[in-house]
Structure 1
Amino acid sequence: MSIPPKPKVSVLIQTLNEEANIAACLDCFSWCDDIVVLDSLSTDRTEEIARRYGVRWFERPFDGRASHQNWAMAHIAFKHPWVYYSDADERVPAELAAEIAQVTQEATPSVAAFRVNRRDYFEGRWIPRCTGYPLGIVRLFRPDRIRWERKANPVPIVDGEIGELKSEYHHYPFSKGLSHWVARHNTYSSYEAEETIRSLSAGGFHPRDLISRDRVVRRRALKALSFRLPARPLLKFCYFYVWKGGFLDGGPGLRYCLLQCFYEFLIVLKLRELRRGASEIEDR
């Protein structure tokens, strides 16, 4: 499938010290004439490499995924009416680029966004079962009709219909090594612990959402339910490794599920820490 000439789509990429990834990411968007990089004050060669591709460069301190992306929607004047969002450790194959160009040309005004399925890679392999594939994530949208909530794993709030693309993007979360993944998820676990406190306080769980036809709503409901269950790390491991068939992904699947279990355990420990701190303040 060839890419139509000059698709009316801008590209937004978030970066923080991505010199190892940014060139390969930008190579995927040779068809785009408006690539915007929103950087979180990188200290490596990310800017130097990115500017070789003629990108528009913006900088601001990182203060959570949702607020970062909402800032971009409010302060960046994109050239085109559609924006495709990518992280630097993601790749857009030619078939997805062609589909992006096609659907944005044909979309009716009622359609405000499209979900794109993600393929996660670990130890050189695609690991579909233990990553919950297919997992549709809003990546293509009209910038004036979307905003996000939550610091980590932000939830899109879209003003309009959401379509589904058939093609997929590829994600390499370990492209900068295991140590980087652990450091990043150490930060994310703090955000998730804070979100857990907020969710429990707000009573944001609706059991009917567990059977919603919208898989994003179902996923959000499962997340809210998990906040309320004991033994969360063990349950997450059993869900992905046993129920979702992660054991069929071989050794990489087992190790990935154990890493996810570790991440969930960090969230539980930090939640306990937050509760203990709140209790100590009340006792003073």
Structure 2
Amino acid sequence: MSDDGQPAPGHGYRKGPVLLRGQQIPTTTSDQRLLSRTDPASWLHDDPWRVMRIQSEFVEGFGALAEVGPAVSVFGSARVPVDHPDYALGVEVGSRLAEAGYAVITGGGPGIMEAANCGAKKAGGLSVGLGIELPFEQGMNDFVDLGVNFRYFFARKTMFVKYSEGFVVLPGGFGTLDELFEALTLVQTHKVISFPIVLVGTDYWRGLIEWASGPVLERGMISPVDLDLIKLVDTAEEAVAIVLERGAELRAEEERAAAATAQAQQAAESTTR
């Protein structure tokens, strides 16, 4: 089963470093157990150990991804079959990103995630998968070169954001929407640099954009400038072009800031002589 319960080839259930199959697969996930409040005093015995486990996930993730280099996260549905046009689109996105010098980061599963990993790998780029513990048999797709499995969604999402310089979002369901709005919120609130967020597929995403620019904007829930955080395109070529353009702008901004800092430091040193 896939990460959303759809039939898909499975390679076992990952629980941290442990691989489980068949009857050994648990009926609840680490996230469920962490957030459960059935026993008010259980945190005294269980949660301190979970904190250590959460800490280890961050340490392992940071260590594994520290040398990935420039990377872009590609989000999309696990339900998309290999013969679907969206799968071909995912392959092209992954391929074009790799050719542009980016590592490609996905959730490591089937569907569009597999497609983007496939495109990156075949183009000679680094293909990264960030897997998640789920109550369905699923492993990393066969096109992942560097894979990290997580118990907790929040640790996994931190890795997507920390190591990505942009987000390309193909058609997907609740999981994809969660990842999209996580990135949007962090950019909108300036918790991260204003990295590009590109939605691919006008027909698929038009309703979301119309809702955001209609009732959401009209009621003052967002500002007009917030709509500029999202770019809507139809092709892989357009999506990657936006990522490259924004990447060049950010690097230019960093160079200007570094030059201004160096100049200010030199001025301060000259006044103290």
TM-score, normalised to structure 1, is 0.28
Query: Which one has the bigger helix percentage?
Result: 2
TM-score, normalised to structure 2, is 0.29
> Which has the greater radius of gyration?
2
